[in-house]
Amino acid sequence: MGQRKHKHTPKAVAGATENHRAEHTSTRATTDCQKTPIYHPIVIKIEIFKKPADFLCLMLSNKSLIELKEFGLNSYESRIWVALLSRGTSTAGELSDIANVPRSRSYDVLESLQKKGFVVVKHGKPIRYVAVSPDDAIVNAKDLIEAVARKQEETAESMKSGSLLGELSSIYRQGFEASSDEHVSGSIFGRKNIHNHLESLMRKAKKSIALATTAEAIESKHAVLKSAAEKAAGSDIEVRILVAGSFDKSKIKMPKGIKVRKAGIKSRFCVVDGEDSIVLLFNSGDVHPEYETAVWISNPDFGSGIEMVFNAAWKRSTPL
């Protein structure tokens, strides 16, 4: 028997085609929806700013964030202020959500920013905050820093001439005398703190000061070198400095009384009287000044060993 042939009328073919197209369109629409779901605006905000640093990274460069920190704004203050700048005026709750700062902290942060002159409080219900323009905020902060610095300087001067310094010094001496630990060691963080400690050790030097540094780092040690020179002037204290790297003596005015030589070792340390040693762990250009780290060790045995290393390098060095 022969196979029955189905006859397709034009109308039937058109209907089948339309059904196929509709089915294909439905499938494609479903696939497209699966690829690009529709988000509510709040969900999008949460997805974008789910990490604390995401908001600022979109708004500011890393260099700008570092400058804000150096200017005196901590992480929460920077995030809240930038969020407020982007809104002009806002509430603590809104700023907390935008900048990813805990809501319990946002009020304290905004109060701190107000005292520093970065925001203005607009009283009402709810309380709203108005952003101060960056130009005015910087001027306000600068004035506040100078006022605080003057006040602290006056307080420090009064402490020198008052009885408080004597009382504190007495407590300090008694504490060290009562301590059974004859050798002291510790970590020092921040370039300024390291330089301050170096100056303190040099002022107390009685016999010798040996400093090994690099050409890049020596430019930031003017105050330290001045302290060493003052100690060396008119005394029998020997002050020697080894400098590694390309060093142009004409560019840096070296105080009198200091012997300087060019060294082949790229190390950074200082030994005072063969007892107190400070060893810096990083090259000055490798880390931010705030993250520079040094180890201080007050130990004659360790100090004499470090001094032997310095003396060996000194013999191999060349005069400048």
Q: Quick one: pLDDT band at residue 37, thresholds 50, 70, 90?
A: very low
What are the C-alpha distances in Å from 211 to residues 256, 286, 298? Answer: 16, 20, 16
Q: Comparing 68 with 249, which gets the higher pLDDT?
A: 68
CA nearest neighbour of 48 among 102, 105, 98: 98
Supply the pLDDT for residue 277: 93
Q: Would you say how long the chain is, in residues? A: 320
Per-residue b or e along 52-78, where b marks 16 or more CB atoms closer than 10 Å to that residue's CB? eeebbeebbeeeebeebeeeebebbbb
Percent of the chain with pLDDT over 90: 15
Supply the pLDDT for residue 310: 92
> Which phi and psi (to 5°) does residue 162 adopt?
-90, -175
Supply the pLDDT for residue 122: 87
Q: Does residue 259 carry a pLDDT above 90?
A: no
Beta bridge partners of 119: 131
Supply the pLDDT for residue 278: 92
Element (H, E) at 137: helix 134-161
- Residues 173-194: pLDDT tens digits? 776 665 555 567 789 998 888 8
Supply the pLDDT for residue 158: 82
Percent of the chain with pLDDT over 70: 70
Q: How confident is the model over 35-47, as a mean pLDDT?
A: 38
- Residues 262-300: pLDDT tens digits? 887 778 899 999 999 999 988 777 788 888 899 999 888
Q: Where are the domains of the chain?
A: 25-159, 185-319
Please determine whether the domains at 25-159 and 185-319 fall in the same fold group of CATH.
no
**Cβ neighbours for 297, distance < 8 A, ≥ 6 positions apart:** 183, 184, 185, 276, 277, 278, 279, 303
CA nearest neighbour of 205 among 284, 303, 281: 303
| Cβ contact 242:259 at 8 Å | no
Supply the pLDDT for residue 234: 63
Q: How confident is the model over 168-174, as a mean pLDDT?
A: 76
- Residues 217-230: pLDDT tens digits? 776 676 677 666 66
Q: Comparing 69 with 228, which gets the higher pLDDT?
A: 69
Q: How far apart are CA 89 and CA 91, in angstroms?
A: 7
Q: How far apart are CA 276 and CA 198, in angstroms?
A: 10
Average pLDDT, the chain: 76
Q: Class of 185-319 per CATH? A: alpha beta
**DSSP category for residue 291:** G
Supply the pLDDT for residue 253: 66
From 1.10.132.20, 1.10.10.10, 2.30.30.140, 1.20.1250.20, which CATH number describes the 25-159 domain? 1.10.10.10
User: Sign of the CA dihedral 80, 96, 102, 126?
Assistant: positive
Q: Does residue 150 carry a pLDDT above 70?
A: yes
Q: Does residue 116 carry a pLDDT above 80?
A: yes
| Stretch among 94-98, 116-120, 152-156 having the lowest mean pLDDT | 152-156
Residue with tokens 């009064």: 158
